[in-house]
Amino acid sequence: MSDLATRARTLLDLHTAPEILVLANVWDVVSATVVAGTDGVRALATASHSIAATFGYPDGENIPLDLHLDMVRRIVAAVDVPVTMDFEAGYGDAGETARRAIEAGVVGGNLEDQLKPLDEAVAAVEAVLRAGRDAGIGFVLNARTDAVLKAPAGSDRAAAVAEAARRGRAFLEAGAPVVFVPGVVAREEIETLVEALGPRRLTVISVPGASLPASELEALGVARVSTGPFTQRVALTALQDAAAAVVAGGTLPAGTRPLN
């Protein structure tokens, strides 16, 4: 799929299909090729947190955009499936960052609202979608709201979910095909958001030990579930456990496979 418009259309179709889109986030070329080579994988998503950590930067747009985009460009070149990029809050100019991501071969992306005034957040969504149109593609924007994730501890969860729904509807009306609400794991909250946004409009993150299985999320009408930084943490946990075993006098795991 060399044509960007075709990749973008494929990625959008994966979000609107009856089957949930499961994305195991990647952070470098080898993680991308391993995940892309896994049976059932139909698209890739990059994790900004994980790419930043790879280069020694904390999350939160601390990694230089040029460096971030260079890694994403390498990932796109190494695989033959659509790639969506987490470009955080847009590095100060969401439209320009989306334009550069598209030049790198990206056909979708996450954009955080960081609970900015809603008109500003909607304008950023519109800028990203405009960058896609200017490039001749239907950019698949996963418009993220932090209404639940950043709700103060002990605050009214129902109010936070309602605010996520309010902001999410505004993003959908601006043209975003899906809305990402990190921090939501409870079945009742997911049901509320699916009812407010519509089926196959909500995307969530899978949190180890807390989230519902992907099959149950699909039955609830969720469009997509991704793994964010947790995939890298799975890999690093296995690495640390293996190192600890060897240092303690043992051996590496017997089931280790030659994946690179």
Q: Tens digit of pLDDT for each residue in 163-187?
A: 999 999 999 999 999 999 999 999 9
Torsion of CA 197, 93, 13, 206, to 10 degrees: -60
- Which range marks the domain in which residue 109 is found? 4-227
Answer yes or no: is pLDDT of 2 > 80. no
Q: If you average pLDDT over residues 79-98, what whole number do you get?
A: 98
Distance CA 121, CA 109 (A): 15
Tokens 């986030």 sit on residue: 25
DSSP character at residue 198: -
Answer yes or no: is pLDDT of 215 > 60. yes
Distance CA 46, CA 2 (A): 19
- For the chain, give the percent of residues with pLDDT over 70: 99
Q: Under DSSP, is residue 62 helix (H, G, I), strand (E, B) or coil?
A: coil
CATH number, domain of 158, equals 3.20.20.60
Answer yes or no: is pLDDT of 246 > 70. yes
What is the domain count for the chain?
Answer: 1
Answer yes or no: is pLDDT of 1 > 50. no
Strand arrangement, sheet containing 44-45? 21-23, 224-226, 202-205, 178-180, 140-144, 108-112, 83-86, 44-45
Q: If you average pLDDT over residues 42-51, what whole number do you get?
A: 98
Helix (H) or strand (E) holding 124: helix 118-134
Confidence bin at 154 (pLDDT 50/70/90): confident
Distance CA 133, CA 138 (A): 6
Q: If you average pLDDT over residues 54-68, what whole number do you get?
A: 98
Confidence bin at 196 (pLDDT 50/70/90): very high
Report yes or no on 194 lying in a domain.
Answer: yes
Q: Tens digit of pLDDT for each residue in 94-120?
A: 999 999 999 999 999 999 999 999 999
Which residues, 6 or more positions from 44, have their beta carbon under 8 angstroms from its beta carbon?
23, 26, 32, 35, 36, 75, 79, 81, 82, 83, 84
pLDDT for 173? 98
Query: Are 69 and 55 contacting, i.e. CB atoms less than 8 angstroms apart?
Result: no
Answer yes or no: is pLDDT of 8 > 90. yes
Report yes or no on 54 lying in a domain.
Answer: yes
Report yes or no on 256 lying in a domain.
Answer: no
Answer yes or no: is pLDDT of 6 > 50. yes
CA atoms within 13 A on the CB side of 176: 33
Tokens 């992306």 sit on residue: 109
pLDDT for 238? 97
Report yes or no on 246 lying in a domain.
Answer: no
Report yes or no on 250 lying in a domain.
Answer: no
Report yes or no on 160 lying in a domain.
Answer: yes
